[in-house]
């Protein structure tokens, strides 16, 4: 689910688990439920049609380049496509 979209936009170091690729991974619990709370959204505008709805599937942990993301501080690098 990640390699093909990454390849389509020219991000060849993303979307795969292999030597030399970025170690960007998530631990996902497909059976866990959560209620959408707009206050907890990390968007510029926390308006959502899903407010108060119960959704299924929760990301438990995220790793960016092999390091655990805590959400305390922004991390990462803005990526551009080749030829852009």
pLDDT tens string 8-26: 988 888 888 888 888 888 9
Res 80: pLDDT: 72
Count of CB atoms situated within 10 Å of the CB of 22: 19
Res 84: pLDDT: 55
Mean of the per-residue pLDDT values for the chain? 86
Res 51: pLDDT: 94
60: phi > 0 → left, psi -120 to 50 → alpha, else beta; which? alpha
The model's pTM is 0.66
CATH placement of domain 3-65 = 2.30.40.10
Q: What are phi and psi of 77, to 5 degrees?
A: -135, 135
Query: Mean of the pLDDT values across residues 64-78?
Result: 80
Domain ranges of the chain: 3-65
């Amino acid at each position: 689910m990640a390699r093909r979209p990454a390849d389509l936009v020219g991000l060849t170091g993303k979307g795969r688990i292999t030597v030399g690729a970025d170690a960007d991974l998530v631990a996902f619990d497909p059976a866990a439920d959560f209620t959408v709370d707009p206050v907890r959204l990390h968007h510029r505008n926390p308006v959502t049609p899903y407010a108060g709805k119960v959704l299924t599937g929760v990301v438990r942990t995220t790793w960016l380049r092999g390091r655990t993301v805590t959400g305390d501080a922004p991390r990462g690098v803005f990526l551009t496509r080749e030829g852009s």
